[in-house]
Amino acid sequence: MDTISTNVAPVGSKPALAARIKALPTPDKALLKLLFGAALLALVLGLIGGFVTALARAGALTFFPDDAYRLLTLHGVSVFFYWLYLIQAALLLVLAAAENGRGLALRPFAWLGAALMLAGFGVSEWISYTGTPLLYDGSPELATDDPRSVGFFALGYLLLSGGLVALAVSGIATVLQPRLRGEADAFTSIGFALFAWAGFLVVSAIAATNAFRACCGRWAPGPSRPTTAPSGTSCSTTCTICR
């Protein structure tokens, strides 16, 4: 006698990850597409900068020193900061939303975070292309006579940090939501990993803020302000932005 076998998921099991992502609310999917698209753009820009730099080092191309530093700056900023943090933010949110099953919690925070990160991306790319090239770590010693470039460069990273915190807060709220609704007594292993990951992103953002905030006007000249940042910070020059 012929039989038909079917695969039946256990009661209470979750649908596959792809199905959960497909079922996300439209605003969440739009946000995730935006973040993944921006991350890929940062990666492409960084790879182009790295490829051209490699050609220059091989002797196939010749640049003036400032242009060579500019390429290195664009490469480092795009890959080591914006690609890495944008893709982490996108992956955190998509996995958290899928784990929750009902989309993102604190959705306005997520959109605010994305807007801040994209604004920082734009500022950093613009000042890296038009200002004094500072390399990816924003070394102020390379622009002692151009505090404007230092200030805008730091502003880009501060916007990135603020956006990262807002996105991480949304991710944390999203993985906590099932427990707050009484649908779960404890984290799943994936939920706990996402919660910890979001916490690490917040710590990274705080560290970046502490490193670059001195560049953004706090140490601008004034009656009660020192003209240099204190020792131990990454900025030791005067800035004119964000006064």
Residue-wise pLDDT for 55-101, tens only, equals 888 888 777 777 888 888 899 999 999 999 999 999 999 999 999 88
Domain region containing 71: 24-215
Total domains in the fold of the chain: 1
| Residue 221: strand, helix, or coil | coil
Does 142 reside within a domain?
Answer: yes
Predicted pLDDT at 227: 39
Q: Which carries the bigger pLDDT value, residue 193 or residue 10?
A: 193
Residue 70 belongs to some domain of the structure: yes
43-52, 66-75, 157-166, 221-230, range with the lowest pLDDT: 221-230
Which of 181, 242, 235 has its CA nearest to residue 208? 235
Nearest to 118 by CA among 216, 33, 203: 33
15 in any annotated domain: no
Map tokens 């929750």 to a residue. 100
Average pLDDT, the chain: 81
pLDDT band of 117, cuts 50, 70, 90: very high
* pTM for the whole structure: 0.79
| Rounded-to-integer distance, Cα 83 and Cα 43, Å | 5
Distances (CA, A) of 220 to 61, 124, 156, 204, 214: 40, 20, 18, 26, 9
| Nearest CA-CA partner of 179 in 126, 101, 109 | 101
Q: Say if 131 falls within a structural domain.
A: yes
